[in-house]
Each structure stands twice: as C-alpha cells, then as structure tokens.
Amino acid sequence: MEKTAEELLPIVTAAQRQVEDIRGVALHLMETVTCAGEVTDLKTAVGKLAKATAAEITQLQALGRELDGTLQSAKTNPARSKSTHQRDADEMKRITVSAAGQKRWAMAAAA
C-alpha cells in the first residue's frame, strides 16, 4: 500500500504543525527558565541590600550614641576649649560622611 504524494501531503503538513507547536513550547520553557534565573538574581540582590541596610542601621545607631555622648559632654562641660568643640564637630562630620559612604557602597553592592 504505497501512498501517493497527494495522500502524504496532509500527513506531512500535520507533522510540520506539530513540530512548530513543539518549538513554541520549547521557546516558552526557555523563557520560563530565564525568568527563574532573573528571579534568583533579584532575590540575591535583595538579600545583599538587606544585609547592607542592617549594617547601615547598626552604624547609624552607633553614630547616634556617639552624638549623644558628645552632646552630653558639651552640656556637662561647657567650658571646654574651642579646639575641643571643633575636634568633636570634625569627628561628627567624619562619622556622618562615613555613614553616607557606607550607604553608597551598600547600594552599589546590591546592584
């Protein structure tokens, strides 16, 4: 029972449609895998940002304690020299700049 080309044409056409359907499914699966990888990358970045933020909060709390100590010292000993007050102000500025630098570093690390 040999079939003619006319009889085989619908079978070949149906097979070609199935191949195209399979290709479509394969492309969809590849896109899904790519999205899963991007989600994993995003999860990692969020984790890094959370750690950096926690470190920044800890540093800001320490800064607050230092500033409170400096303020209390200034209140209890107002007769300190101008240079001592200037040194304290410079130290507060350094700590503040350091905290800002840590924040930029944390944001860059999370990116």
Give the C-alpha separation, 8 to 94, whole Å. Answer: 83
pTM score, two decimals?
Answer: 0.44
SS3 sequence of the chain: CCCCHHHHHHHHHHHHHHHHHHHHHHHHHHHHHHHHHHHHHHHHHHHHHHHHHHHHHHHHHHHHHHHHHHHHHHHHCCCCCHHHHHHHHHHHHHHHHHHHHHHHHHHHHHC
Taking only the tens of pLDDT, the chain with its 111 residues reads: 677 778 888 889 999 999 999 999 998 888 888 888 888 888 888 888 888 888 888 888 888 888 887 777 767 776 666 666 677 777 777 777 666 666 666 666 655
